[in-house]
A and B are shown apart, each in its own frame.
Chain A
Amino acid sequence: MAQLPPHHLAWAESIGIVSRDMDFLLWFEETAFSTWMRESGPAFFSSLVLHSVAMGFVVGVHVATDLRVLGVACRVPLSLMRGFLPVAWVALWVVVASGALLLCAYPTKALTNPLFYVKLLAVLAALLIARSLTRGLLGDDNHDAGPLPRKARVLAALSLALWAGAITSGRLLAYTYNLLMASHQT
């Protein structure tokens, strides 16, 4: 069985987020689809472009909603911010699909980088906060005007921090990977 040597990943392996088993990654990156995603320029770059544009709408709509919860544009009836959520949802599916395609292109690069899991967890946590705010405050029009509970404002601020963290860790994936492809391992 092929092994992943660098010991600086030991902590990540010990909590089970990276695997030393390279056999699966070796097989995956040599499938015809993975090779095509990597080697046909337009497939890779259109996924990258879609991932960025759709990310802008997913995060952008949530940031606008968080700012409203924090008191910016406080005369906007809060429950009506739900009107923009369908845009964020469509964009989220584009983000997930394009992200999956990018993962197919370089599975080893992402899956052996602990930061990739940090990014996924930040996105997941931010989306859970969004769901909690949507079902709670945005769900009825009692909160349309007036100051919001402290707990809601803390969640909105946390959401902004998580989105910033997800973006930063996503960008850093291009710089911090341990191994680009399993086949590069000696």
Chain B
Amino acid sequence: MVEALFAFGEKSGIHALMYSTWGWPAVESLHFIGLVLLIGNVGVFDLRMIGLARGIPMRALHRLVPWGIAGYALNALTGFLFVVSAPDQYLFNPAFQTKLSLMAVAGFNVLVFYRFVWARVAPADAGEDAPRGAKIAAAVSLTCWVGVIVCGRLITYYRPPYHWCFWC
């Protein structure tokens, strides 16, 4: 896995980009900008379901969500560039493993939300409270994404092989 990713990074020119003078810092900056787009646009949508700014109709606010998805896409791409450039530093890193797990939970939460909850939330007009299921989905979403940021930041703290965790 590590070898395959590394070979891909060499062949595709990703390593040439990432290990150029400003490559890594520039991609990191884009990763933080994507973070802000995601937590900002998805975050205000979640906060409305939890009970803030209840005067805003749900469907109107939902128009911000595609900008959050754009942030997610930017971060999936830039994140992939990091992993390909130093696969051993990420794949064996407990913070990175936890981050991916939380992203999986957040993704599952998105599927459950749009499959079972959104149809009941969308009609929530100005002043209407979101149903309990929506509040739970919003809380799960905010918790997961905050956790993802925390783990992302901790990746540099748990650099392999100088770390300890109960499953390492």
Contact = CB atoms under 8 A, between A and B. Distances in A.
Q: Do A and B bind each other?
A: yes
Interface of A: 41, 45, 48-49, 52-53, 55-57, 59-64, 67-68, 72-77, 80-84, 86-87, 163-164, 167-168, 170-172, 174-175
B57 interface: yes
Contacts of A62: 40
12 contacts: A56-B146, A57-B40, A60-B36, A60-B40, A60-B41, A64-B67, A74-B63, A75-B59, A83-B53, A83-B55, A87-B43, A171-B28
The DSSP consensus for interface residues of chain B is helix
A63 B29 contact: no
Nearest to A81: B53
Q: Which 7 A-B pairs have the closest CB atoms?
A: A60-B40, A83-B53, A73-B63, A75-B60, A56-B39, A168-B29, A63-B40
A171 B32 contact: yes
Interface centre among A57, A74, A87, A163 (most CB of B within 10 A): A57
Contacts of A167: 29, 32-33, 36
Contacts of B154: 45, 49
Contacts of A61: 40, 43-44
Nearest to A45: B157
A23 B150 CA distance: 36
B117 interface: no
A67 B41 contact: yes
B81 interface: no
Contact of B52 (A48, A67, A87): A87
Interface in B25-70: 25, 28-29, 32-33, 35-41, 43-44, 47, 52-57, 59-64, 67
Contacts of B52: 83-84, 86-87
B56 A76 contact: yes
Contacts of B91: none
B151 to A, nearest CB: 9
Nearest to B27: A171
B153 interface: yes
Interface string B62-102: 11100100000000000000000000000000000000000
A163 B34 CA distance: 12
Given A64-B44, A81-B53, 13 more contacts: A57-B39, A59-B36, A63-B40, A64-B67, A73-B61, A76-B56, A76-B57, A80-B55, A84-B44, A84-B47, A167-B32, A167-B33, A168-B29
B149 interface: yes
Given A45-B157, A83-B53, A175-B25, A76 B33 contact: no
A55 B59 CA distance: 27
B60 A172 contact: no
Contacts of A74: 63
Contact of A57 (B43, B57, B63): B43
A68 B150 CA distance: 28
Interface string B118-148: 0000000010000000000000000000100
Contacts of B37: 60, 63
A115 to B, nearest CB: 11
B53 A164 contact: no
A75 B59 CA distance: 9
Contacts of A45: 153-154, 157
